[in-house]
A and B are shown apart, each in its own frame.
Chain A
Amino acid sequence: MRRSALLAAALAAALAAAVPASAVEPDEILADPALEARARDLSRGLRCLVCRNESIDESRAPLARDLRLLLRERLVAGDSDEAAIAYIVDRYGEYVLLNPTRQGANLILWLAGPALLVGGVAVAGTYVARRRRAAEPETALTPEEEARLEVLMRGNPGG
């Protein structure tokens, strides 16, 4: 049962991939280069929902093409970058954003690195400070080691 479901999924994926379409097509490009540049920039931050891990700018899936066209429509209609993105997020959800928002729990994501750095600097700082104060340990050699050292010093230093 599960196998056949998997097989169907694999088949569907293969068919979807086989549909002749590839990332940004010549006919999608807007005449206004400034607007097109904005569209490219924004579409790099939007996820293709049916792909594994691709932006709509890179994806060949038909859905990605629809999203690219939709985004361009909004920009041509005069939307600001934020408004165009908000329009798409309203319809497709937060999942579409490759650049996670800085709201709510996502603050943990954004601040995790800097917080660990601050903590790490504090710990490392204390450690280094302690190392500075620590007394130089005595070089305590056992008699056997002294003897071995003697042998090594007298022998060929390179060996």
Chain B
Amino acid sequence: MITELGHFALVLALAVALIQATVPLIGAQRRNATWMAVAEPAAVLQVLLLGFAFAALTYAFVNSDFSLRLVVMNSHTDKPLIYKIAGVWGNHEGSLLLWTLILAVYGAAAALFGSNLPATLRARVLAVQGMIGVAFLLFMLLTSNPFLRMETPPFNGDDLNPLLQDLGLALHPPFLYMGYVGLSMAFSFAVAALIEGRVDAAWARWVRPWTLAAWVFLTIGIAMGSWWAYYELGWGGFWFWDPVENASFMPWLIAGALLHSAIVVEKREALKSWTILLAILAFGFSMVGTFIVRSGVITSVHAFANDPERGVFILMILAVFTGGALTLYAARAGALEAKGVFGLVSRESALVANNLLLAVSCFVVFVGTIWPLVAELVWGRKLSVGPPFFDAAFTPFMVALAMLLPFGSMLSWKRADAARTLRPLWPLAVLSVSLGALVWAMQTGRSAIGPVGVILGLWVAGGAVTDLWMRTGRGALAVRLGRLVRLPRADWGKATAHAGLGVTVFAVAAMNAWVVEDIRTVREGGSYPLGGYEVTLVDVREVEGPNYLSTMAELRVTRGGAEVATLFPEKRLYPAAGMPTTEAGIDYGLLRDVYLVLGDPQQAGGWAVRSYIKPFANWLWIGAGLMALGGLVSLSDRRYRVAAGSRRPVAVPAE
């Protein structure tokens, strides 16, 4: 019964979305306040209906209702409760329901917190949001209904893919979706602004928090996925340039560009039409991502729920929305005249460079991702585009970005003095390069990635600190420290996020350059050296988990006789899904992770054991965490909460 109510709620939500997509739009055109006012209750009603549908599906999963096809395919009575709940979105249909629910939540948030928006803009934003809702609800009801029943319910389910039975991965999709779908707000604002024919500082001020929130969620989601790959896939890789990873990375890059260009619109009323274009593209790439994941057109380790028919439907949604928005853009963008004037050396120019590099690097990822498809369709060539291409083609843009960042972020608006901006940065530049040279000298015979990572990482992170310090102006140390504490949160957020990027750049380089690897056969009781450590295989035993069987090794790691850690890497078999997984044994540390993986028993006796020292692995997650934290701190700046209210035609003067 609850299932049927959930199904019915979905149909009702579609009806409400249809009303939300049309009535307020017409109302805004005719300046009819009553019609425009329909948007708000419609948006709230949608959340309630979709929230109910989602709760109904969760109820079915938690109670293992095997009359539901989706529950049969993705759940099992022996599964721990948390993974029963995670099973709701660990599949195509359920994840789509989560997608639409989050879309509705954003819509309702815009309705409830957007009371200070001009009435027509708000009505149009909510109408566009409603249109996206219509498209995805139709998609769900027509091709991917989560509430389908079985004719003959089986006794038990097929179990969720064991790889997904992991806390990190259980939370990874919701965060990614909050990011993807958050970009729909930027899209709706962009389309609404095009319809209104007006983009100004106030518009940018409304769009920026939504984009920032979406970007923060994307950052967290991507980092979680990467962390999961690191500890779960069994050899400590954290990024594979897999099509599905790229699918989340492209919106992240474009959202990053959009964040920065919106600042220029807000402060200087320039780059308006470019910002609108980025907002359209950001959500476009979110949908491209959905298409890539859900159609399975580009095969990847993630394609657990692919189906070409669904792919065609998503492609149609993509074509209608992106195509429609771009057509509107072509027709109206000319009307958005820029106001701000700035010199060649200025913050504006630096942000243009930032946008250029981010957009081009996103384009490189895009081309690399779809190239196998294009090559096969056009030339009949079956080829692969793998990590070596992306490493070679993408990295230079990030290096350029990192080199420009500290300098660009300290330039003043309108007209800057390059020499004066560089003055406080010189010591940092000298320090970075000399530390890089020192590392280069110490690590004879290894790749240049490590030293370059040290230089860039220190340059960017140190640059962020310098930037913050220079904001305190002149005066005695105590006075400046006092000012430092009182700096706006936006400044702190900017510095934190930039420092996070620096830490991430360093960690990526360090992990690639200085990893220590050892593969060997070890007998129980045997030991071997690893880096500066000594590892002993104490024993290997069979252990039974709640819904899996495990072969668990006990490995003791010592250094100079003193115990560092005892690790228990496992090989698990999930009988219900008939799938094995590896669970690495990891000793996390600030400077290195000791990463041990149990392989197979060898014919001559003993076990294959793979061991790694992963230098600075934790810095990767810390860096990503700092970026997300920076975004959150910036989001909490009171300017967004207080001053976002009124629409003033005057640009905020340059700082």
Contact = CB atoms under 8 A, between A and B. Distances in A.
Contact of B608 (A25, A45, A110, A120): A25
A66 to B, nearest CB: 17
Choose among A100, A124, A129, A132 the residue with the greatest number of B CB atoms under 10 Å from its CB.
A100
B387 to A, nearest CB: 6
Nearest to B269: A137
Contact of A52 (B237, B301, B339): B301
B519 A18 contact: no
A110 B582 CA distance: 36
B341 A132 contact: yes
A109 B368 contact: yes
B499 interface: no
A14 B344 contact: no
Given A25-B599, A52-B303, A98-B388, A17 B580 contact: yes
A80 interface: no
A26 B383 contact: no
B397 A113 contact: yes
A94 B384 CA distance: 8
B393 A53 contact: no
A120 B600 CA distance: 52
A88 interface: no
A97 B375 CA distance: 14
B341 A136 contact: yes
Given A58-B235, A112-B363, A124 B353 contact: yes
B364 interface: yes
A137 B338 CA distance: 10
Interface in A102-117: 104-106, 109-110, 112-113, 116-117
Interface string A121-159: 100100111011011110111000100000000000000
Contacts of A55: 386-387
A99 B352 contact: no
A131 B579 contact: no
A143 B96 CA distance: 51
Contact of A26 (B338, B360, B363, B519): B519
A139 B650 contact: yes
Contacts of B573: 18
A27 interface: yes
Interface string B188-222: 00000000000000000000000000000000000
Interface of A: 11, 14-15, 17-18, 20-27, 29, 44-45, 47, 51-55, 58, 93-101, 104-106, 109-110, 112-113, 116-117, 120-121, 124, 127-129, 131-132, 134-137, 139-141, 145
Given A25-B608, A105-B379, A120-B359, 16 more contacts: A14-B577, A14-B579, A18-B579, A23-B610, A25-B600, A45-B386, A51-B301, A52-B301, A53-B300, A55-B386, A94-B383, A99-B388, A101-B383, A110-B393, A141-B650, A145-B650
Interface of B: 233-235, 237, 240, 242-243, 270, 299-301, 303, 338-344, 348-349, 352-353, 356, 359-361, 363-364, 367-368, 371, 375, 378-379, 381-389, 392-394, 397, 519-521, 573, 577-580, 582, 599-600, 602, 608, 610, 648-650
User: Nearest 7 CB-CB pairs, A to B?
Assistant: A98-B386, A99-B388, A113-B364, A26-B521, A52-B301, A95-B382, A112-B367
23 contacts: A11-B578, A17-B579, A21-B600, A22-B600, A22-B608, A22-B610, A23-B235, A26-B608, A27-B602, A53-B242, A53-B299, A55-B386, A93-B382, A95-B382, A96-B384, A98-B386, A100-B389, A105-B379, A113-B364, A113-B367, A128-B342, A141-B650, A145-B649
